[in-house]
Amino acid sequence: MSATDLRERAAQPEGRPMRIAVIQRIVPETPESSTYWMTWRGNDGEGYAFEAGQFNMLYLFGVGEVAISISSNPMHPHHLGHTVRHVGRVTNAFRNLRPGDEVGVRGPFGKPWPLHEAEGGDLVIVAGGVGVCPVRPAVESAMRRRDRYRRLILLLGARTPDLLPYKDQLDEWVALMERLGVELHLTVDEPVGTWLYDVGVVTTLFPKARIEPARTTAFMCGPEVMMRFAGRGLLELGVPPERIYLSMERHMECGIGLCGHCQLGPYFVCTDGPVFRYDEIAPLMEVGEL
């Protein structure tokens, strides 16, 4: 198993200053999450760039920092979107933010989705619930360079329609994806109201999507139990484990492999991940409470 190399660690100094961003717009996504759109204050965004799958440490004055994946388009690093689920001390304090409020930003941190790995073949993106947020930049990047991929397949699921983020953009996305020939499949476990798409856990979409395993590179993000089942499902279809990637979530406090909290086996999820190759991480996912 590979560990983070000392020189690589040195390349991400903590001394990197906190930049300040200003909230522009807050979009409620699900009953317990909202997307915070922000731009940089003054020149604070100078030299800032990120890749799909990376995260920032967001700081609220007097409250603390929290690791949030970047959900916006990497093409526009001066217009950042973070979808925050209000489940902890800091993320709950996000509820009090209003447009014009300031947020401290350190980052970007972590390994991005390896979009180049999928080039020339099919890219299958499987996401569940808030797991859609960290894959969204990958979807945007892949759509922008649509010609680099053969098939682009998006399998998105949630427990209920309520829990699927970015619904306000869904119609726009569906139209754009139709135009670009992106195969979008949506499913929920429990349909409520006028749900026009599939019903069932996200793995039930696999047969429908007619995944061609030999050409496929897959990205997964969602609750660990979903990723375990989706991973096994993809393996059963014949997708090689070294072409399946997933984004892990652990308690990340520093972003640079220093505070220790996000350890998973030999890895610091913040620097060795959050995106891992399935074969590196699957045995660890099988052990409870690791």
Partner 1 sequence: MWYLERDGLGRLIGLLAERGYRVIGPTVRDGAVVLDEVTGLADLPAGVREVQGPGRYRLERTDDGRLFDWAHGPDAGKRFLFPPRERLTEIRRGREGMRAEPAPEEDDRPLALLGLRSCDLHAIAVQDRVFLELDERYRRRRERAVLIGVNCAVPGSTCFCVSMGTGPRCTAGFDLALTELAEGFALEVGSRLGAELRDALGVRAATDGERAEVEAIARAAAERMGRSLDVADMPGLLYRNREHPRWGDVGARCLACANCTMVCPTCFCHDVVDDVSLSGETATRTREWASCFSAEYSWAAGAVVRESHAARYLQWLTHKFASWIDQFGVSGCVGCGRCITWCPVGIDVTEEIAAIRASDGAVEVRTA
State the residues that interact with partner 1 by CB under 8 A.
Answer: 1, 3-4, 6, 9-10, 12-15, 17-18, 20, 41, 59, 61-65, 85, 87-88, 102, 104, 231-232, 235, 241, 249-251, 253-254, 256-263, 265-266, 268, 278-279, 282-283, 285-290
CA–chain centroid gap for 224, Å, is 13
Give min distance, CB of 193 to partner 1, in A: 26
Which two tokens mark 288?
């409870």
Give min distance, CB of 24 to partner 1, in A: 15
Give min distance, CB of 85 to partner 1, in A: 7
Helices (H), the chain: 6-10, 89-93, 132-144, 170-180, 205-209, 224-237, 269-272, 278-285
Which CB, 119 or 253, lies closer to partner 1?
Answer: 253
Which CB, 76 or 232, lies closer to partner 1?
Answer: 232
Which CB, 178 or 242, lies closer to partner 1?
Answer: 242
Give min distance, CB of 20 to partner 1, in A: 6
Which CB, 14 or 168, lies closer to partner 1?
Answer: 14
Which CB, 74 or 222, lies closer to partner 1?
Answer: 222
Concatenating the DSSP letter of every residue in 123-177 gives: EEEEEEGGGHHHHHHHHHHHHHTGGG-S-EEEEEEESSGGG-S-GGGHHHHHHHH
Rounded to whole angstroms, how far apart are CA atoms 279 and 285? 10
Give min distance, CB of 75 to partner 1, in A: 27
Give the DSSP letter of residue 259.
S
| Beta-carbon count within 10 A of 64 CB | 14
Give min distance, CB of 43 to partner 1, in A: 13
Count the helix, strand and coil residues of the chain and give each as a percent rounded to the nearest 5. Answer: 30, 30, 35
Cβ neighbors of 193 (< 8 A, separation 6 or more) are: 161
Packing angle between helix 278-285 and helix 224-237, nearest 10 degrees?
Answer: 130
Which CB, 100 or 193, lies closer to partner 1?
Answer: 100
